[in-house]
Homo-oligomer: A and B are copies of this chain.
Amino acid sequence: MSVNMRFSKRTEGVTGSAIRELFKLTARPGVISFGGGNPSPAALPDDIVAEISRELVASNGKVLLQYGMTEGLPSLREALVPYILNEFSVKTDVSSVLPVTGSTQAFNLLLDAYTDPGDVILTENPTFLGATQAMHLHQLRVIPVDSDENGLDMDALGEAIRRYHPRMLYTIPTFQNPTGVTLSLERRKRIAELAAQYDILVAEDDPYHSLRYSGKALPTIKAFDTAGKVALMGSFSKVISPGLRVGFLVCDEPQLMRKCVICKQSDDLHTANLNQAIVEAYLRRNLLSPHVAQISKRYGAQMDCMLSCLENMQGVERFTRPEGGLFIFAWLRGGVNATDMLMKAVERGVAYVPGTHFYPDGGHDSTLRLNFSNADIPTIQRGMALLDESLKG
């Protein structure tokens, strides 16, 4: 094949997740990783899933192993409706809920169904790299909007809306990736209003919603959506297992849902039935709430430990103080470049993700994202000590 092979325009300049590539470099034996967004191994319910899998296939295998509907397992969709009401404060119905192959797919479907190349999409600044990559593959114009300790800055958002006439807004309102920051109640209401007023589709990505360790749960933006302008994306990756690849999309605009289903037909026809049924079992047997309570206790303690370590680190100028989720975001003192420091840190035995990767326009070189869910407390203490040494040295 010719070395000058031509590929699609949509993939031009899209290099793949820098983070996923980084992991390959930093995945040396013995290196403590604060880099990923991985659940703790202890939080992965292998015993329960092993037994449930066997039971589900043994009792209903002729259905689960056969083709399923693109719209998802009817019994899972039914179970999702009360779950979404209780957990996300969103009243929905079976026809507005679509099980998907991880919430990654939900966002991709929304972009497929709703955007054309050249459309403007607003995002938090910084934001989730995977989402930015999906935007670039859809050839969108990505406009980052500044956020503060309460999430998206409303003045900056208003200005961006008036200036750029965006087609969509992508936001992670709760325990945001990478900052851990949560959008305030008032701003949630305001975003729902702005979406209706300016005809903007809000893609509300809420995978960390249930992982709250302090403070009071907030309703989603979708809960304030009276105009059908908010699509909510949820995931079971952080609360059951990422390896199962099951999430959901809530969208009560029938035409948009139909377009998403059509696009999903070409994506993967349907989400694997067994995986959907495992999630359904978690919901119907009331296994999810106690599991989330258990892992929240663990993650909360790990977060507190990491925050304590950060308080004592001279090289760290400031850092976010999340009430949940998986991540803390930090700013280094004295303009230290987090990318330059990374390989030195890895040599000492600790890894993180330089924050610059999360800014669609780059820059912000003295920032870094730290994950506290994957490592246990002694490991966090060791890793943070190594990070402190890297900063000093």
Contact = CB atoms under 8 A, between A and B. Distances in A.
A130 B265 contact: yes
Contacts of A1: 227-229, 253, 256
A111 to B, nearest CB: 8
Interface string A88-106: 0000000000000110110
Copies in the complex: 2
Contact of A68 (B70, B104, B243): B243
Contacts of A15: 262
Interface in A1-24: 1-2, 5, 7-11, 14-17, 20
B256 A5 contact: yes
Given A7-B255, A8-B116, A115-B8, A265 B50 contact: no
A205 to B, nearest CB: 13
Interface string A47-80: 1011101111110011111111110000000000
A269 B245 contact: yes
Contacts of A70: 20
A265 to B, nearest CB: 6
A209 interface: no
A82 interface: no
Interface SS majority for chain A: helix
B65 A242 contact: yes
A134 B266 contact: yes
Interface residues of A, number: 85
A46 B58 contact: yes
Given A51-B54, A134-B266, A267-B104, A44 B65 contact: yes
B57 A41 contact: no
Contacts of A271: 245
Contact of A265 (B17, B101, B114): B17
A100 to B, nearest CB: 8
Nearest to A270: B245
A243 B114 contact: no
Contacts of A39: 66
Contacts of A253: 1, 5
A369 B287 CA distance: 45
Interface stretch (A272-280, A329-337, A356-364): A272-280
A65 B53 contact: no
| Nearest 9 CB-CB pairings of A with B | A46-B61, A54-B54, A50-B57, A65-B241, A53-B53, A1-B228, A243-B273, A50-B58, A134-B266
Given A7-B255, A104-B268, 4 more contacts: A7-B113, A49-B57, A244-B273, A245-B270
Interface of A: 1-2, 5, 7-11, 14-17, 20, 36-39, 41, 44-47, 49-51, 53-58, 61-70, 101-102, 104-105, 108, 112-116, 130, 133-134, 137, 199, 227-229, 237, 240-245, 253, 255-256, 258-259, 261-263, 265-275
6 contacts: A7-B255, A16-B261, A44-B65, A50-B55, A65-B244, A130-B269
